[in-house]
Amino acid sequence: MRLLVTGGCGFIGSNFIRLVLEEHPEDEVLNLDKLTYAGNPENLKDVEGSPRYFFQQGDICEAEDVVKAFAWKPDTAVNFAAETHVDRSITSPEDFVRTDVLGTYRLLEQARELGIRFMQISTDEVYGSISAGSFTEESPLRPNSPYAASKAGADLLVRSYVRTYGVDAVIVRSSNNYGPYQYPEKVIPLFVTNLLEGRKVPLYGEGRNVRDWLYVRDNCRAIDLVLRSGRSGEAYNIGAGQEKTNLELTHIILEIMGKGEESIEYVPDRPGHDLRYSVDTSRLRELGWSPRQDFEGGLRETVRWYRENAAWWEPIKSGEFQRYYLERYGDI
């Protein structure tokens, strides 16, 4: 396969490219990435020398950049590129509408013109919050944050390109990922690196919100499976069924890192904070996927990775992130 991957210098995209190059020796990958604050070429340092890996710096919202990437003649395009952090979408929604909606449209247009398969990397957040039970792929989209709404807009565009133009497209909606190379604005790497720096961890509200934690490598295996075997026009939920409240999550992290309750700083809640995400993954499991990584083991491995790779995250935390953090959390 000749795969065009967008947003491959981010957290999940970089893990996905590494998995494809390892598991499919005949595949070639072109990574189109704008290198926003979240994009880091260091995430793919180990594959840079591969003759099967190519990189183009560019913006999925710019028609010229997208046309140039498709001129490489991929037979499949996978769209990871997005603005991804809910808190940033609350303070600066415009970037989310632009990249997550307009950018997806530009890619769809090219996939339509070239007649190639298109995969949209979406999120369980498009369904909104559910207090009991789990959303199926047929549940209505009821997003609550500007991030989730922009991702839902992209999903609906994909649907329309399937119905109207017959584009061969699939969507995956995964739950919260964790693992190596995740930008430390997200809760797990933020808490782990704060504790490594001797700081406290800012827990929103009472820590009662529930997320289903999926190890990034398991997600990448699911994405790869759906890419190659998923039915055209379908969406597939991805989740590990490892639901934890944020308070439970925090206690497990504190225990792994040998810290106590006094390291928790309760801070004001996020506006519109979704209480619980949960997806039914029967459709994906019918394709033969199941998660391999248990939560505690994955979290231990993740803590070990951040402990051993301070050279990766320290420059991030002392760079762009420092101002963002101070404005948000003060000196916690």
Which residues form the catalytic set? 124-125, 147
**Cβ 306 vs Cβ 173: under 8 Å:** no
Question: Smallest gap, in angstroms, from Cβ of residue 293 to ligand TYD?
Answer: 18
Q: Please report whether residue 35 would count as binding ligand NAD according to CB under 6 A.
A: yes
Q: Which does 202 bind (CB under 5 to 8 A by kind): ligand TYD, ligand NAD, none?
A: ligand TYD
Q: Please report whether residue 129 would count as binding ligand NAD according to CB under 6 A.
A: no
Nearer to ligand NAD by C-beta: 145 or 263? 145
- Give the three-class secondary structure for 159: helix
Q: Which does 10 bind (CB under 5 to 8 A by kind): ligand TYD, ligand NAD, none?
A: ligand NAD
- Closest among 173, 144, 176 to 244, alpha carbons compared: 176
Site for ligand TYD in 222-251 (CB under 6 A): 246
* Total residues interacting with ligand NAD, rule: CB under 6 A: 30
Distances 150 to 95, 143, 217 between C-alpha atoms, Å: 10, 9, 25
Q: Please report whether residue 13 would count as binding ligand NAD according to CB under 6 A.
A: yes
**Cβ 43 vs Cβ 31: under 8 Å:** no
Nearer to ligand NAD by C-beta: 13 or 230? 13
- The alpha carbon of residue 280 and the mean position of all alpha carbons in its chain are separated, in whole angstroms, by 18
**Of 110, 134, 176, 302, which one interacts with ligand NAD (CB under 6 A)?**
176
Nearer to ligand NAD by C-beta: 176 or 263? 176
What percent helix, strand, coil does the chain show, rounded to 5?
Answer: 45, 15, 35
Question: Smallest gap, in angstroms, from Cβ of residue 207 to ligand TYD?
Answer: 6
d(CA 79, CA 61): 12
The tokens describing 242, both together, are 């490892």
Question: Smallest gap, in angstroms, from Cβ of residue 190 to ligand TYD?
Answer: 5
Task: Write the single-letter amino acid at 28.
Answer: E
Q: Which does 36 bind (CB under 5 to 8 A by kind): ligand NAD, ligand TYD, none?
A: ligand NAD
Q: Please report whether residue 187 would count as binding ligand TYD according to CB under 6 A.
A: yes
Q: Which does 129 bind (CB under 5 to 8 A by kind): ligand NAD, ligand TYD, none?
A: none
The tokens describing 209, both together, are 């919100």
**Of 89, 150, 174, 209, which one interacts with ligand TYD (CB under 6 A)?**
209
Question: Smallest gap, in angstroms, from Cβ of residue 262 to ligand NAD?
Answer: 29
| φ/ψ bin of 180: left (φ > 0), alpha (ψ from -120 to 50), beta (otherwise) | beta
- Closest among 54, 60, 52 to 7, alpha carbons compared: 60
275 Cβ contact list (under 8 Å, min separation 6): 129, 131, 208, 209, 210
The tokens describing 287, both together, are 């394709």
Q: Please report whether residue 179 would count as binding ligand NAD according to CB under 6 A.
A: no
**Of 38, 148, 169, 171, which one interacts with ligand NAD (CB under 6 A)?**
38
Question: Smallest gap, in angstroms, from Cβ of residue 174 to ligand NAD?
Answer: 4
The owner of tokens 């499991």 is 285
d(CA 307, CA 78): 31
**Of 8, 13, 202, 239, which one interacts with ligand TYD (CB under 6 A)?**
202
37 Cβ contact list (under 8 Å, min separation 6): 183, 320, 321
Question: DSSP per residue over 178-213, as a string?
Answer: ESTT--TTSHHHHHHHHHHTT--EEEETTS--EEE-
Site for ligand TYD in 61-120 (CB under 6 A): 86
Q: Please report whether residue 18 would count as binding ligand NAD according to CB under 6 A.
A: no
The residues that touch ligand NAD, with contacts defined as CB under 6 A, are 6-7, 9-13, 33-36, 38-39, 59-61, 80-84, 99, 103, 121, 123, 151, 174, 176-177, 183
